[in-house]
A and B are shown apart, each in its own frame.
Chain A
Amino acid sequence: MASTVIGAGITIEGEVSADEELVVQGTIRGKVDAREGVTVEAGGTIEADITGGPLTVAGSVTGNITSSDRVDLQAGARVVGNVKATRITIADGAQFKGNVDMDV
């Protein structure tokens, strides 16, 4: 199963677009478009608007999230930005500041 892993020591400044799942342990600044979804692990940081599939966040995201699927903020997640998703979970211990739009 292909996936892209941005390791803990890596920083990408620019646009990232992926046709496969993106796992972020490092830092991305700019713009992220991941059709198959993004997992931001604890310690991972995304400072960018994110569009794409399902999103799982245990790290830090600063930017607007537009997901065609679900968004899960796990304990330890820190998200600042607006979230547009079909489903959302915010676990106990996650921090979130922004609007949630579920197209209701």
Chain B
Amino acid sequence: MALTRTTSSTSKHDAAHSTQAVLGAGTRVRGRITGDGDLAVHGHVEGEVHLRGELFIAEGASVVSNIEASALRVAGALDGDVNVTGDVALLAGARVRGDLRGASVSLEEGAELDGRLDCEFTLPVELSGGGLDDSDGPTVRR
């Protein structure tokens, strides 16, 4: 009398693997998301995110929320301030409005940012025009 659904057994397998979490494209969350582990958002989040792990905002995803995380990668839309202990990466296709703070921030060609960067990093040669050094964490306005 096996009434278990196939999906249950495959999910259990995934559970053993990692604390990988995915909010699919058709999912909307309004509220606070907290926790440990990485989270990939393909849908919509409105609220707050406090994650001890990496947050990935996929292309097509939209997040309206302040974010605290260990690392952040954005390929979708984000409206909110970011305070990350590790690296922030805005990938091509990212559209971000808000202030970003992280140990390092990178913007790929095609990424859009409307906000401030607050971190310590070395500008690439093409942009530094004058050799801005990273010693005191300059604020770069884009």
Q: Please determine whether A72 and B3 come into contact, CB atoms closer than 8 angstroms.
A: yes
Q: Is B134 an interface residue (CB 8 A)?
A: no
Q: Which residues of B contact A42 (CB under 8 A)?
A: 12
Q: Please determine whether B24 and A7 come into contact, CB atoms closer than 8 angstroms.
A: no
Which chain B residue lies CB-closest to A21?
Answer: B7
From 1 to 56 in chain B, residues with beta carbon under 8 angstroms from any chain A beta carbon are 3-5, 7-8, 11-12, 14-15, 18-39, 42-43, 47, 52-53
Chain A interfacial residues counted at CB < 8 A = 35
Q: Please determine whether A16 and B24 come into contact, CB atoms closer than 8 angstroms.
A: no
Q: Which residues of B contact A15 (CB under 8 A)?
A: 28-31
From 39 to 53 in chain A, residues with beta carbon under 8 angstroms from any chain B beta carbon are 39, 41-43
Contact flags (1/0) for A9-22 with B, using CB distance below 8 Å? Answer: 11111111111111
Q: How far is the CA of A86 from the CA of B25 in the complex (A)?
A: 28
Q: How far is the CA of A73 from the CA of B31 in the complex (A)?
A: 28
Q: Which residues of B contact A67 (CB under 8 A)?
A: none
Given contacts A14-B32, A15-B29, A72-B5, 12 further A-B contacts (CB under 8 A): A5-B11, A5-B21, A10-B19, A10-B33, A12-B32, A14-B47, A15-B30, A16-B28, A19-B26, A26-B35, A41-B15, A74-B3
Q: Is A6 an interface residue (CB 8 A)?
A: yes
Which chain A residue lies CB-closest to B35?
Answer: A10
Which DSSP category, helix, strand, loop or mixed, fits chain B's interface? mixed
Q: Which residues of B contact A7 (CB under 8 A)?
A: 18-21, 35, 37-39
Interface residues of B (CB under 8 A from A): 3-5, 7-8, 11-12, 14-15, 18-39, 42-43, 47, 52-53
Interface residues of A (CB under 8 A from B): 2-23, 25-26, 30, 39, 41-43, 56, 58, 72, 74, 89, 91
Closest 4 CB pairs of A and B: A14-B31, A19-B26, A7-B21, A9-B36
Q: How far is the CA of A20 from the CA of B42 in the complex (A)?
A: 12
Closest CB in chain B relative to A38 CB, distance in Å: 11
Q: Which residues of A contact B21 (CB under 8 A)?
A: 5-7, 9-10, 26
Q: How far is the CA of A26 from the CA of B17 in the complex (A)?
A: 14
